[in-house]
Amino acid sequence: MSKTNKNNEDIKHNAGNTGDEFAEDDFAEAEGLTNSGESMSEDKIKSLAEKFIAQKKDALLEVAKDYPKKKSLPIDYSELVKFNAELCDELIDFPDKVIKIFEDVVNTQNIPVNFEGEVKFHVRFNLPKGFSIKIRDVTSENINKFFSVDGVITRVSDVLPKVYVGVFQCPLCGKRKEIEQEKTRNLIVPSVCDDCKKMVRFKLLPEESKFIDIQRLEIQEPLELLRGGEEARKIEIWLTDDLTGKVLPGNIINVTGVMKLIPPKDINDAVYRKFIDANNLNVVDREFTEVDLSEDDIKKIKEFAESPDIAKKFTDSIAPTIYGYKEIKEAMALQLFGGSKFELPDKTKTRGETHLLLIGDPGVAKSKLLTGASNIAPKSIYVSGKGTSAAGLTATAEKDEFAEGAWVLKAGALVLASGGLACIDEFDKMESDDRAAMHEALEQQTISIAKAGIIAKFKSETCVLAAANPKFGRFSGEKAISDQFNIPPTLLSRFDLIFPLRDIMDATQDQGIARYVIMAYTGKKEELLIPKIDVEFIRKYIAYARKNIIPVLGETAQKKIEEFYLRLRRESGGDTVQITARQLEGLIRLSCASAKMRLKGVVENEDVDRAIRLTTYSMNLIARDKTTGKIDVDIITHGPKEKRDKIRVMSDIIENLTDNGKMNCNMEDVIKVAKEQGIDEKDAKNFIENAKKEGRIFEPKSGLLGMIA
């Protein structure tokens, strides 16, 4: 039995006794019309189509009520296979013929429509999963066959008019001739006039021809399908009429259609391009469309969730060949699960994705940690900041040959990885304009485009794991992070946790690193280097948790988070702030992620304790004031309090010297007053140079300074 017939038999069997609108005697009558196993004639297909559409009259009337907003009659394959299995075989093998006959039948039903002008209904078929093909498996065997593919949209063209019935005129006798066009870009033009019997160059009459909207997409394989650095395969999709204008880059879609070919431009070229002429399109809202879980998988996942040391097992499975970094790996594990999204009373939504930043010395395995997380995430993208532009990272609108020079919307890495993980190495090497494009993506979880009249907003619900190197080779605990990395303070504040990785001389740590590196290079399967959990099981576990578990804060968890936040706020004073609302939201996200990792629907004390421990660990490393011993979040963006005080004093000095109507002041006077107030000449000059770069002061003439209002 062929795959098509087997699918039909399974569907027909499963469809029995479901209360379907097709009566058993109708099915038997239709089944009896064809049992030869040969290809049906058009008359038989038309007869079957008329009987089938007669049963769908009510559904067709509903579509007609909203014409032209709605133009398509949806037909589910399971309904059709109950009606006649061989007709389904014909649809799969000869889709163009069957679809045309069905649409001709529908358009001859004389359905009343409140619309002036030509009325044209379409028939859209929904295929079951058994007829879905991976993009990489679409080959010449699928030419002119009916099937479906899943993919994420990478490019979308503008909606353009295309001739579907061309009216041509003979330049000699004026005879008009109508020719229905095929679904390719080439215009079919008659060459011989039926009246004067001469070969002439016919003229297209656009005002008398019939046009249809067309839009071209490019989709690629879902990221969760790819393993081991595989390149995502792509295929072109053509949409027509009411299917156009409904999707954006980043949408995951299921397309049902017919594979067609585009002839080469060079007549001597034998290689054709392929595309799918879409009959139906559905946007898939699921995050992990290709992570299939059996009942046995779900049973194992639930059993594993009861492990008392589940957090440790996940932590030890992330980059096990990298020595140490226990807290960082634990935070990365929580990031993979993600927190819960909450809708606020004003209908705005909080983000559930956690963003992590690894900063520090070269050669401390930052890139390997990113690779380790990327390898186990069910859906991930790995990019390097040095070779990544704003367009490649976010999204853009640009002119492209893909749409014959028209504007095309393109999705970047953060859009394509929505619902998953985006690993960005060399984050500090990105151009400042490219980094600026990330602000909206990191906080609002959207990316907005307004260019050439195109206004669009893409979903970017993506966790970002970034790594950066310091400007001067080594990380210094004495300077502000923003001074050591080419990352603006506003962008730094978007990261929930920042971890400095330092190459410190420590005998115990050095011995551990040496042991791990040597074991990795011997090729032996040392127990320490083997992940505690199978990678494929981790992917399935994370996919199940993200899809099915949405933790909420329990009363005890709420109280614990509130007490921690209020205690640190009380201990803050003067210019020292120990915690802000941003860190509070980060605690909630991490707590929810911990509960999700344990497959718990309610956040408990254990989850809050884990979130507080990781947050405190990060803050102690990057925001601990060595003078007072207290945490000061402003250290992250503006440096220690002593440095901030000097900046304030220097600003006051220049402001005072330019009072009383003075436009400028002498640099020498500024340095002199600074010395009198305890600031040495070197620090004063450094402030002046930095303030000029930041645009806070200007130097209209050598030796003169002015404040920018």
> Domains of the chain: which residue ranges?
3-131, 135-284, 295-622, 640-707
Mean pLDDT of 453-475: 81
Query: Is 11 a residue whose pLDDT tops 50?
Result: no
HSE on the CB side for 267, CA within 13 Å?
Answer: 0
Using CA atoms, how far apart are residues 545 and 340, in angstroms rounded to an integer? 11
Give the per-residue pLDDT at 644: 64
Give the per-residue pLDDT at 227: 65
User: What order do you get walking across the sheet with 356-360 strand by strand?
Assistant: 380-384, 421-425, 463-468, 356-360, 497-501
What pLDDT band is residue 157 in, cutting at 50, 70 and 90? confident
* Residues above pLDDT 90, as percent of the chain: 23
Furthest C-alpha separation in the chain: 105
What's the CATH number of domain 3-131, 3.30.1640.10, 3.20.20.70, 3.40.50.880, 3.20.20.140? 3.30.1640.10
Give the per-residue pLDDT at 18: 37
Using CA atoms, how far apart are residues 394 and 415, in angstroms rounded to an integer? 6
Classify domain 295-622 at the CATH class level.
alpha beta
The larger pLDDT score, comparing residue 411 to residue 124, is at 124
Q: What is the pLDDT of residues 418-436, one digit of tens each?
A: 888 889 888 877 777 777 7
Classify domain 135-284 at the CATH class level.
mainly beta
- Encoded tokens for 605: 């004390």
Contact 279, 238 (CB under 8 A): no
DSSP-derived 3-state class of residue 397: strand
What pLDDT band is residue 289 in, cutting at 50, 70 and 90? very low
Using CA atoms, how far apart are residues 191 and 607, in angstroms rounded to an integer? 76
Mean pLDDT of 451-467: 81
Give the per-residue pLDDT at 527: 63
For residue 102, what are the contacts with CB-CB under 8 A and spacing of at least 6? 49, 53, 75, 123
Give the per-residue pLDDT at 333: 93
HSE on the CB side for 462, CA within 13 Å?
Answer: 33
The burial of 312, by beta-carbon neighbours within 10 Å (0-12 exposed, 13-18 middle, 19 or more buried), is given as middle
Give the per-residue pLDDT at 589: 92
Give the per-residue pLDDT at 345: 76
Using CA atoms, how far apart are residues 638 and 48, in angstroms rounded to an integer? 75
Q: What is the pLDDT of residues 372-409, one digit of tens each?
A: 888 888 888 888 876 666 567 777 777 665 555 567 77
Fold of the CATH domain 640-707:
Arc Repressor Mutant, subunit A (1.10.10)
Handedness of CA 618, 621, 625, 628 (dihedral sign): positive
Which 3-state string (H, E, C) describes 271-314?
A: CCEEEEEEEEEEEECCCCCCCCCCHHHHHHHHHHCCCCCHHHHH
Among residues 500, 390, 481, the alpha carbon closest in space to that of 435 is found at: 390
Mean pLDDT of 45-50: 92
What CA dihedral angle connects 359, 364, 367 and 369, to 10 degrees? -90
pTM metric for this prediction: 0.71
Give the per-residue pLDDT at 13: 40
* Bridge partner list, 236: 218, 275
